[in-house]
Amino acid sequence: MSETKWALIVSPTPQAQEAGEKLKPLMDWVSIDDADQAVVLGGDGFMLQTLHQMLNRRKIMPVYGMNLGTVGFLMNNWHEDDLTRRIESARPFKVRPLKMEVETISGASFVLPAINEVSLLRETRQTAKLEIEVNNRIMLEELVCDGVLIATPAGSTAYNLSANGPILPLGSNLLALTPISPFRPRRWKGAILPDKMPISIKVLNAEKRPVSAVGDQQEVRDVAKVTVSIDRNQTLSMLFDPEHALDDRIAMEQFVV
């Protein structure tokens, strides 16, 4: 433990800042640029923001989060006791993000990462009309809906679950393709797909029925086409207390009534 350099990353909320002051005397903290690993204090949104900052680093920096937010699904429970022991016994989980490649109506292009999900959402009162292609094969010529999302296993218990999408076990190498308020075909509930298959979504009549694409917290508006795939060049590492690790949490969510 003494050889590992740790950074303390704290959400700007008052409760997280107060907790951060309690942890500062417990370790010789360094800046995030000099650290090997990090302790993150905040909620799920702040953890996602921090994980995005970890992308494209030369080495994988494991992060150990403690919940000072609302839900805290991606976090461990907060308490300041035995921090060193907890970190030493924590279980690591590797997470690969999605790569969202976006083309807009104007011809602009963007490549953005997403750890939980990519969502396509209608921008106006007009329903979206989408063509869905999986592994270079058109699977739905027209989906009329409020939107659609592609979720990773780590993100399958978030927005995807609220949209009645399936919960995916961690390490399953699957993605959830879930419609949001589908009107036609009305009985289509979505699909579970191998994560090796790229998913492309074309916006039909995009100028009349504008659609935005959101990768976690980053949005691109007036989309013409989005292609989503696993970014196999990026890996994130999260640390969890063994008695309540991420894979257990995802499994337990299937029994919540």
Annotated binding site for NAD(+): 44-45, 116-117, 146, 154, 157-162, 218
For residues 2 and 248, what is the distance between their CA atoms, to the nearest angstrom?
A: 30
Question: Other CB atoms closer than 10 Å to residue 29's CB: what's the count?
Answer: 19
For residues 212 and 246, what is the distance between their CA atoms, to the nearest angstrom?
A: 30
Q: Nearest 10 degrees: CA dihedral of 49, 54, 16, 217?
A: 0
Length of the chain measured in residues: 257
List all residues 6 or more positions away from 52 whose beta carbon is below 8 Å from its beta carbon: 113, 115, 216, 217
Q: Are 34 and 60 in contact (CB under 8 A)?
A: no
Annotated catalytic residue: which of 28, 34, 44, 222? 44
For residues 67 and 163, what is the distance between their CA atoms, to the nearest angstrom?
A: 25
Q: Are 1 and 87 in contact (CB under 8 A)?
A: yes
231 is catalytic: no
For residues 114 and 125, what is the distance between their CA atoms, to the nearest angstrom?
A: 26
Catalytic residue positions? 44
